[in-house]
Amino acid sequence: MPAGVTAGSPRFSPDGQRLSFDYSQSNEDSLAVVDRDGKNLQVLATGCTTFCESAWHPTSGEIYFATDDGVNAVAATGGTPRLVHEPFGFVSSVDVSPDGKYLLFDAFDPVLFALADSSEQELPTDDNVYALRFSPDGKKMLYHDYSTHSLRVRELATGATTTVLDTDNYLTGADWFPDGKRLAVISDEGLEILTLQDGAEPVRQMVKSGRALKDVDVSPDGTAIAYCVNGMRSIFVLTGF
């Protein structure tokens, strides 16, 4: 990235060849995209909410993101952003369901939003929800409870919630692998892969140690993990794990 820019919140494109991310400069957060090899950097929209979390639609070619106005979308190739939804409350943590039919975002409580008819369902919780992610089957929600720095999984149909990992790391976050059985996780020690076990603690594999790692994302084919380092201007892509 150019001097004076810090990078965060990387998300792989549906084909795994590009990344959207938070392009932060002089306390201004913007949505940008870049090729996986670091070429063709383009700022798509300014005025993002802090950390500018984004999510690619699987088929439409748009990227969803949050501003002070609400949830927005912009073409990944550039253009004028459009306002998709203006909820009551500050919006953060946008994600798109694997089938492209729903958004998840946080506005005081998590909200499940149908793109077809703009209907919404609030998902009440006492947790301070951050870094929302749909599971690969679209039936669960993975998130970071910012009050306790725990990683939790919630069944969208029933609300049943399970703690996956307790941490003391305010930078913690996670993303699903395509198999729905593994998570890439920022833990207290670094970047780990957790294999979920029914009724038992997950199996943990350390893949990158470090204390300031943040904002993890798994490529659609599960062969790469993107992450950032707090305060640094690079996006790192890890393979061969």
Confidence (pTM): 0.94
Burial class (CB in 10 A: 0-12, 13-18, 19+), 232: middle
Do 237 and 36 touch, CB atoms closer than 8 A? Answer: yes
Q: How far from 109 is each of 120, 124, 126, 128, 154, CA to CA, in Å? A: 12, 6, 9, 8, 13
pLDDT of residue 165: 95
Which sequence spans correspond to the domains of the chain? 5-239
Q: Residue 92, CB half-sphere, CA atoms under 13 Å: how many?
A: 16
Longest CA pairwise span in the chain (Å): 48
pLDDT of residue 198: 87
Rounded CA-CA distance 31/99 in Å is 23
Which two tokens mark 214? 């943040």
Which two tokens mark 198? 């029914």
Q: Residue 64, CB half-sphere, CA atoms under 13 Å: how many?
A: 25
pLDDT of residue 202: 94
227-53-229 Cα angle (round to 5): 25
pLDDT of residue 5: 80
Burial class (CB in 10 A: 0-12, 13-18, 19+), 57: middle
What residue type is 9 in one-letter code? S
Rounded CA-CA distance 65/108 in Å is 17
pLDDT of residue 80: 95
pLDDT along the chain (241 residues), means of 10: 80 97 86 94 87 93 92 95 86 93 93 96 91 96 94 96 95 96 97 93 95 95 96 91 91
Indicate the fold that domain 5-239 takes in CATH. Methylamine Dehydrogenase; Chain H (2.130.10)
